[in-house]
Each structure stands twice: as structure tokens, then as C-alpha cells.
Chains A and B, each alone.
Chain A
């Protein structure tokens, strides 16, 4: 955790150089892997580029892919700012998705009420899923990492059970939500050759502004950050540390819940039984780290990872399995996390130069 915070607070130049170097190293390692496994890395990366930017349709799909990543990235970045590691974004995504679709299915109301209600339900569900580990951390000192991991699995199994037994009669996915709860936009779809692009991107960008505003412009945000830097000093200064920890986890969970809303009300329009995680939550960790926990950084990092993930779909055309992108992302995380060594190398490099 200390490392993570250092990334945000240290020297500005290093703050920008470390992510850029990490991304380049990740892409280079990816190229080396392609060479070793007998593929042409240039063809591979061209395929990746085409997979993300070939025409209006792929660009639409790429933006769709970026949308939830921005939100899970914000979720994890927000918790990091308070010194908390919310590894449970995954579970919060699942419950947010479920709750939003649930409201989308059962409520009958005009769009102006129905859509905000469904979006809110998803955010609340995610917030609730963050509240539990927050409460346990604040009141009993239980480490949030373990609790949130466990909450991920509870979310998955409970959501599956609800889809199977409550929302449907033993089916594996629900009906489509009512049109009044959909984020779908004919205008955006028509603009992008009928991709699944939806209005959610506006919500995601707005959420980034909200995070910036809370963290940098409000007393609440100041207290959250203070608690993240030094819990004891904050307590001594008269801040309510427990309240701030819980609040941070709830807000973080709400962001992640919104990421689920994007999938539920935007991309898919229903919720299905899942056998494994969506990985949106785990990818969010990568986004937050690379984005140095700041909202603008998160947007940029989400764009990068969204492009990589969407572009990966086209890589098999060059014979390269899509998983190469997962390897590249993992390596980028390693380098960002090990920024101590990059910093050390840069400092050495500078000294040698003098």
C-alpha cells in the first residue's frame, strides 16, 4: 500500500515516466513472446490495432469495452486513496449488474424514472457490497483484502442462484430488460454500424469528474485522503477514521456497481449465470495502478487496456492467441508495482549521465 501511495505523491516526472516505461516494456515482452512462439509480432500488433480501430463498428465496441474499465478503475483508485485495497470490485460489479437488471425487469415506469432507478440500484448494491468489508475493517480491524476476495465468490454464487431460482425458472439467463431501463442508444448505434455502444460512457466520464470533485474539492475527500496517508494523525486531528474507511469502501463499491450497470443495462441487457469472474474488477486494479489513482490517469489507462482487450479479439487472424494481451497486462502491472526498481534505474541512469 505504501508503494501505491508513493506512486501518486512522488516526483511528477517519475510519476509520468514509470507508467510509460512499464507499458513499453510490456509491449516489448509481448513481442518477444510472439517471436518465441513463432509469430510475427508486427503482424500481431497490426491485427491488434485493427481489432480496436478498424472501422466505426470496432471503435464503437472499443469504447463500450472501455466504459466499465473506467468505472472499476475509479473504484479501486478511490479506495487506494484512502489506503484501502478494494480487490472486491469484481463482486461489486456482479451485484451491481444483478440489481440493475432486476429493477429493469420488474419495475414498470416511464424512462425518466425507470432508468435512473435501475442505475441507482446497481450503484447501491455495489455500495452495500463494499460496506460490509468497510465495516469489518473499521470496527474490527479485519483486513479488507481477504474479506473482499471472499465477498467476490459470495456475490458470484448468490447472483447465479438468484438468476436461476428467482428471476427465471431454472434458466441460465434472464429476459431482456424493459426498453425504459436501457442505456442503449439508437443514435450511437447508428453512428457506429450497430455496435453495442451505449450512453454508459457518459456516466463513466461523469463518474471520473465526481471522483475528482470529491477527492480534490471537498472536505470529505480531504479527510479520506488524510486517513489514507496517516490513520493515527487523522484520528488525533479529530477525524472519524471508522466513518471515513466505511465511506470510502461504500463509494468505491458504488463505482464498481456502476460498472456492472454498464454491462447489465448497456451491453447485454440481461444477466446470466456465470461460471467464472467477469475480470472487470481485476482489470480495474491494473487500470488504477497504471493511472496512478487519479481520475484522468484512470481514464487514460482504461482507454489503453480497453484497446488492448478489444484489439486482442482480432489477433487470432495473425495466428496469435488472444491471451497474449492478458500476459502483456500482467507484465505491465508487475513493472508498475515494482516501480521502485524503475525509479532506481532511472536515478542511476541520470547520475551516470552527469
Chain B
């Protein structure tokens, strides 16, 4: 039993980390009332920038390279998502359409530049990816140590810590209250002197930063290079986690962990007696089917923020 847990838990954490980070981005954006279908594209940009930075500067920064890479990817994601912010907040574009365009643009730009810079469809493998490690002290604890802290990626814990920070920011600070108010009833928020446009810009840009972070963590832990097939659906799965987690940061984290679990099952299930017999396809579609069921109210009701998807036009009723 202990062996099985010690093999599953690190794998789950490994697969979940990028989903958690990106889903948190989705939570910020949607809580402020801007639908973000573009999470997938933001992950693509994050993965692309993370890998390119890592390849270019591995010699300069040595062991610190992956950390600096994900920071740079975060900034790139934030910049990229400002396109979505401008289109959907200022230009009143349909947010879903703008998100779809973000996805197309991100993949187009990423692969285009890869071909221009590397003269082939994919980059080389990075020299400095994140590696799994035993966390000092904590990994010595009996039982808990081997399950949670041996052979894990530090980024997994970074993701979980950020989820708690996101929860604190959204629910325990004035900023968070304003952000949620803007997403529920922008006119009331405006009347109270909150700048709806500014809050939405901040939220969308935050979602870009977190999406970029998620994408770069995915690239630097799981695949180690960039091509058109690096990010395939992880962004949409994160979006599913946002909804399955009922637009709550910790809920989204839980959902992302669960989806990570479902993903890891399709990989490690061969070693686990009960799961061996379940055809893989059921594990693959589980996250999506569960999200539909959750939305349909079969697993508790999932209600979106009231003003989600509606551009705010000052002075209109």
C-alpha cells in the first residue's frame, strides 16, 4: 500500500502542478467577469518562452536557469494576455471569440518563431529542466516523507502554495473583494468607486501570468522541449478545473489535483490491480465527463460569477 501511494502521489503532484497554476489564472479572470478560453494559448506562450529562455541562457545562469525561465514565462504570459484584456474589456469583443483567437495566435506565434529561430518544427531538449528531488528534512519523516517528499518536483509545492496565496488574496483582502464584486455586479461596484476596467485588466493579466507560469512548468518538468504538440488540451483541462472547482482557488486546486490523478492513472494504472481492468479511454475522458456532470448539477451546483462574459459598458443599465 505504502509503495503504491509512494508511486502515485508524486506522479499526481507532477501532473497537477501546471493545471493548478493555470486554473488559478482562470479563477482570477472569471471572478472578475472575463471568460478566459485563452488559457490554452497562455500556456503555449509560457511553454514556448520558458523553453527558449532556458535554451538560450542555460550557460549564463546554470542551476538557476529553470527558475528564471518560469519567471520570464510569467511575464510573457502577462503581456500576451493583455491582448485578451484590451479586446474583451476595452474593445468589448465577445470574450469567447477573443479567447479562441488567443489560442490560435499563441500557437501560431510559438511555432512560427520556433521555425524561424531553430529552423525546424521543434526546439532542442533543454539542458536545465526541473529535476525531481528529495526535499531536505521533510523527506526524512516516516510514512509521510516517502509518500509526499521523496522524488518530487519543488514546483508542485510552489503551485499548492500559490493556490493558498490566491485564496487569501481573493477572500481576505480588499483587492479580492473588489475583484469579485466586479465579476458579480459591475455596476454596483462602479457606484462604490471601484474602477471596473482596471480591476478586469489586472485580473486578466494575472491570469496570463499564472497561465504562462503553468505552461512553462509543464514544459520544464514534463516535456523539456517546445513544438506544436507540447500543450495539447492542458489549458482546457485547467478551464474545466476552474468550473469543477466552482470558481474557488482551493476548489480549482482540488479539481486540478483530481484531474492530475486521472491523468496519472492512465499512466501508472498498469501497476495497480483494480485499475488495470478499466479501459484507458474512461480514464482519459473522466475529467471532461465529470465537468459536464458538475455543471449539470449532478455533483453540486456550479454557478458562474454573475457578470461572467458580459462586457461592462459604463452608464448602460
Determine the distance from Cα of A352 to Cα of B13 in the docked complex, in whole angstroms. Answer: 60
**Is A48 an interface position by the 8 A CB rule?**
no
Given contacts A338-B87, A341-B91, whether A333 and B97 have CB atoms under 8 Å apart is yes
Q: Is B292 within 8 A of A150, CB to CB? A: yes
- Asked whether any CB of chain B lies closer than 8 Å to the CB of A143, the reply is yes
B292→A136 contact, CB < 8 A? yes
Q: Are B229 and A333 in contact (CB under 8 A)?
A: no
Q: Which residue of A lies closest to B41 (CB)?
A: A330
Which chain A residues lie closer than 8 Å to B102 at the CB level? 330
Main secondary structure of the interface of B (DSSP, over half): helix
A269 to B: closest C-beta gap in Å: 25
Q: Which residues of A contact B279 (CB under 8 A)?
A: 161
Q: A87-B100, A334-B98 are in contact. Are A147 and B292 (CB under 8 A)?
A: yes
Binds B, one of A168-176, A208-216, A236-244, A320-328: A320-328
Tally of chain A residues near chain B (CB < 8 A): 47
Task: Check B172 for interface membership: any CB of A closer than 8 A.
Answer: no
Contacts of B93 in A (CB 8 A): 3, 334, 337-338, 340
Instruction: Give bound CA distance, A213 to B93, whole Å.
Output: 30
Task: Give the contacting residue for B233; candidates A37, A85, A147, A153; CB below 8 A.
Answer: A153
**Are A327 and B94 closer than 8 Å at their CB atoms?**
no
A186 to B161, CA, bound (A): 63
Contact A146 B291 (CB under 8 A): yes
Residues of B within 8 A of A3 (CB): 92-94, 311
B240 within 8 A of A: yes
Contact A275 B232 (CB under 8 A): yes
A24 contacts chain B at the CB level, 8 A cutoff:
no
Q: How far is the CA of A26 from the CA of B215 in the complex (A)?
A: 27
Interface residues on B, range: 35 or more
Q: Render A145-159 as a binary contact track against B, CB cut-off 8 A, 1 for contact.
A: 111011111100110
Instruction: Judge if A285 is at the interface, Cβ distance under 8 Å.
Output: yes
Determine whether the beta carbon of A337 is less than 8 Å from that of B101: yes
Q: Can you name the residue of chain A whose Cβ is closest to the Cβ of B288?
A: A150
Q: Does B104 contact A (CB under 8 A)?
A: yes
CB of B194 closer than 8 Å to a CB of A = no
**B83 contacts A276, C-beta separation under 8 Å:** no
Give the residue among B108, B284, B285 with the most A Cβ atoms within 10 A. Answer: B108
State whether the Cβ of A1 lies closer than 8 Å to any Cβ in chain B. Answer: yes
The residues of A that contact B285 with a CB separation of less than 8 Å are: 153-154, 157-158
B97 lies within 8 A of A157 (CB) = no
A152 to B40, CA, bound (A): 14
Report the stretch among B49-57, B69-77, B110-118, B131-139 that lies at the interface.
B110-118
The reply on B271 being an interface residue by CB < 8 A is no
Residue A14 is within 8 A (CB to CB) of chain B in the complex: no
Residues in A neighbouring B115, C-beta threshold 8 A? 321, 323
Chain A 127-143: CB-based contact to B (< 8 A → 1; otherwise 0): 00000000010001011
Distance, CA A143 to CA B107, complexed state (A)? 26
Smallest distance from the beta carbon of A284 to chain B beta carbons, Å?
10
Please, which residues of chain A bring their CB within 8 A of the CB of B233? 153
B143 cross-chain contacts in A, Cβ below 8 A: none
Cβ-defined contact, A326 with B108, below 8 A: yes
Supposing A145-B37, A146-B239 touch, asked if A329 and B104 sit within 8 A by C-beta, the answer is yes
Q: How far apart are the CA atoms of A39 and B284 in the complex, in Å? A: 42
Give complex CA distance A348, B70 in Å. Answer: 43
Is the Cβ of A1 less than 8 Å from the Cβ of B116? Answer: no
Across the interface, which residues of B come within 8 angstroms of A99, CB to CB? none
Q: Quick check: B292 and A37 within 8 Å, CB to CB?
A: no
Does the CB pair B104–A282 fall under 8 Å? Answer: yes
In the complex, the 3 A-B pairs of residues with the closest C-beta atoms, listed nearest first: A326-B108, A330-B105, A338-B91
Known interface pairs A321-B116, A323-B108, A327-B112; 4 further A-B residue pairs with C-beta atoms within 8 A, sorted by A's residue number: A37-B116, A150-B288, A333-B98, A334-B93
On A, residues with C-beta under 8 Å from B are 1-4, 33, 37-38, 85, 87, 136, 140, 142-143, 145-147, 149-154, 157-158, 160-161, 275-276, 282, 285-286, 289, 321, 323-327, 329-331, 333-334, 337-338, 340-341
A selection of 19 A-B contacts at a CB cut-off of 8 Å is A136-B296, A145-B96, A146-B240, A147-B292, A151-B288, A161-B280, A286-B104, A321-B116, A323-B107, A324-B112, A326-B105, A326-B111, A331-B101, A334-B98, A334-B105, A338-B91, A340-B92, A340-B93, A341-B90
